[in-house]
Amino acid sequence: MEHFLDRKGDIAVSLTIFDLDNTLIGGDSDHLWGEYLIELGIVEEAYYRSENNRFYHEYKTGQLDILEFLAFSLKPLSENSLHDLLTWRQGFLETKIHKVMLPKAKKLIDQHRKKGDTLLIITATNRFVSEKIADLLAIPHLLATEPEFKDGAYTGKVDGVPCFQDGKVKRLDDWLAAQGLSLEGSYFYSDSHNDLPLLRQVDHPVVVDADPLLLAEAEKANWPVMSLR
């Protein structure tokens, strides 16, 4: 097993990074959250489903305007009380997320955990939706798109750089610098061509249940390909 060292050079650990949606879970939590809000009657059904599906299609085809999407997806956080949001999120975990948990993903995580690896999820999905899923997977470190939170409420705006495409690289670089770590010996598991910028940065890119665009790139680069389904 390869390792990276902290800045003091006296602790050897291995960093293993996981994408979340359609990698560690068998679905897209951002899209599922939108569907759940529709089912609860929190948002207007026809408009919200149409836009939710449009953005998901654009994500899959590499055409997503991340700021446009976040203006859409973070708006319900700003329009409802934190108490209600937390209540709905618990129901979301129970009715939507538990159904898409993947036993093989848990085994993969445990394999890296038993090696003593540092485990990190990096996801474009906002922290409100993704943080409790990371808890369910017992992964202690999470880099996610940060919804702005002021005076006890969400504003509907983004705080900092969205954790998407090149933004994942930027957010990870900042996190590594704060931890005094590097990417030497690191792994990254992902399903999406949107993660190519980060896949090209790590020592061990691993393609998981890949979309067609990523699979084509993986074949060119001779990256390992696997399934957790």
Nearest to 98 by CA among 47, 53, 135, 71: 135
- 158: its two tokens: 């983004």
**Using H for helix, E for strand and C for coil, what is the string for the chain?**
CCCEECCCCCCEECEEEECCECCCECCCHHHHHHHHHHHHCCCCHHHHHHHHHHHHHHHHCCCCCHHHHHHHHCHHHHCCCHHHHHHHHHHHHHHHHHHHECHHHHHHHHHHHHCCCEEEEEEEEEHHHHHHHHHHCCCCEEEEECEEEECCEEEEEECCCCCCCHHHHHHHHHHHHHHCCCCCCCEEEECCHHHHHHHCCCCEEEEECCCHHHHHHHHHHCCCEECCC
- 136: its two tokens: 């369910």
Nearest to 24 by CA among 201, 195, 172: 195
User: Which active-site residues does the annotation give?
Assistant: 19, 21
User: How far is 14 from 186, CA to CA, in rounded Å?
Assistant: 6
